[in-house]
Amino acid sequence: MDALAGLLEGPRARGAFMIRACFEPPWSIRIEDRAPLTVMVMVRGDAWVIPDRGSRIRLRPGDLAIARGPDPYTCADDPGTAPQALILPGAECRYPDGRALNGSMDLGVRTWGDRLDGSTVMLIGTYLWEGEISGRLLKALPPLLTLPSDVWNCPLTPYLMDEIVRDEPGQEVVLDRLLDLLVIAALRAWFSRPEAAAPAWYAALADPVVGRVLRLVQDDPAHPWTVASLAAKAGVSRAALARRFTELVGEPPMTYLTGWRMALAADALRDTDDTLEAIARRVGYGGAFALSGAFKRVYGVSPREYRGVGRGSP
């Protein structure tokens, strides 16, 4: 598996919250939904995305922005416009004073705002559960990133514009997959840009020693790797590998290996019905008991609890 594929294979929406937002200035929406990832595509007009911390960005037609939760932010026609609505967890909508909106801004199938013919139109897709996005991917992203139209031109946008307002059998699945493809395409474009702060391990793949070790670990996580065996494969001493790996990646080789195995196990718990025993063997643990202990140390919950939350269970 190449490194970029390993990083981007994580998004898998399930019943994602997707809307076409239509507004006429002045307008402002405060988002406090704590969603792990939200993608916004500007179709018509301009908008500002204003995080509580960090620099605000302006979106013009064709621009795309991705906000990484849980930090709140505001979308508005102008940074000075006071919020008219508040978006809370579970796609709950309220007025700023706490009163329920009660559908007063619904404009049709997956369409929301104050005017259907408004001069501002955005497509918004939100992953509702952390289990739908790889933790390694989330950690690699800034809280807010943008791709302007002059460097971002995705043919999925007009297709999503058509599909988001349809009410056909299986439409939810179609939209989930379109959102996944849109995010993957956007992040592939983002990581190719010089301002993208790629994770340390990603940059370390260019190193002839550490890069080889990373590929060995990523390609065969079930192998009983040790620092000695990895060093032998890389043609260096154990001390040299440990020092160089920690310097470039930011953690020792075996710590990275554990994190990679746990990420794979988490994905398998979320995406398959495989037994814990089978997952344990696949990621390099002797059995379910050993994997459970390691998993809880890393994630703070048992594999069973994680599987339930990742699939949207209470």
pLDDT at 214: 92
pLDDT at 289: 95
The phi and psi torsions of 211 (rounded to 5 degrees) equal -60, -40
Sheet strands (E) in the chain: 17-23, 28-31, 37-44, 47-51, 57-59, 64-68, 73-76, 85-88, 92-94, 106-108, 111-113, 120-127, 144-147
From first to last of the 314 residues of the chain, give the pLDDT tens digit. 555 666 666 567 676 788 899 999 999 999 999 998 999 999 999 999 999 989 999 999 999 999 998 899 999 999 999 999 999 988 789 999 999 987 888 888 999 999 999 999 999 998 887 665 666 677 778 899 999 998 887 788 888 888 888 888 888 888 888 888 888 888 888 887 877 777 788 778 889 999 999 999 988 999 999 999 999 999 999 999 999 999 999 999 999 999 889 988 988 887 788 999 999 999 999 999 999 999 999 989 999 998 886 554 43
Rounded to the nearest 10°, the torsion over CA 249, 252, 255, 257 is 70
| Alpha-carbon gap, residue 244 to 210, rounded angstroms | 7
CB atoms within 10 A of CB 284: 22
pLDDT at 313: 45
Asked whether 177 and 236 are in contact (CB, 8 A), the reply is no
Instruction: Extract long-range pairs of 251-256: CB within 8 Å, 24+ residues apart.
Output: 252/227, 253/213, 253/217, 253/227, 254/225, 254/226, 254/227, 256/201, 256/214, 256/217
pLDDT at 137: 74
pLDDT at 4: 62
pLDDT at 184: 85
Q: Which residues pair with 190 in a beta bridge?
A: none
pLDDT at 48: 98
User: Which two tokens mark 114?
Assistant: 């104050």
Residue with tokens 């070790």: 213
| Alpha-carbon gap, residue 36 to 70, rounded angstroms | 6
The phi and psi torsions of 123 (rounded to 5 degrees) equal -100, 130
Side-by-side strand order, sheet with 47-51: 57-59, 47-51, 73-76, 28-31, 85-88, 92-94
User: Alpha carbon of 96 to those of 30, 84, 93: distances in Å?
Assistant: 8, 6, 9
pLDDT at 154: 78
pLDDT at 177: 86
pTM score, whole prediction: 0.75
User: Which two tokens mark 53?
Assistant: 């911390």
Closest CA to 128 of 56, 75, 179, 190: 179
The phi and psi torsions of 312 (rounded to 5 degrees) equal 85, 15
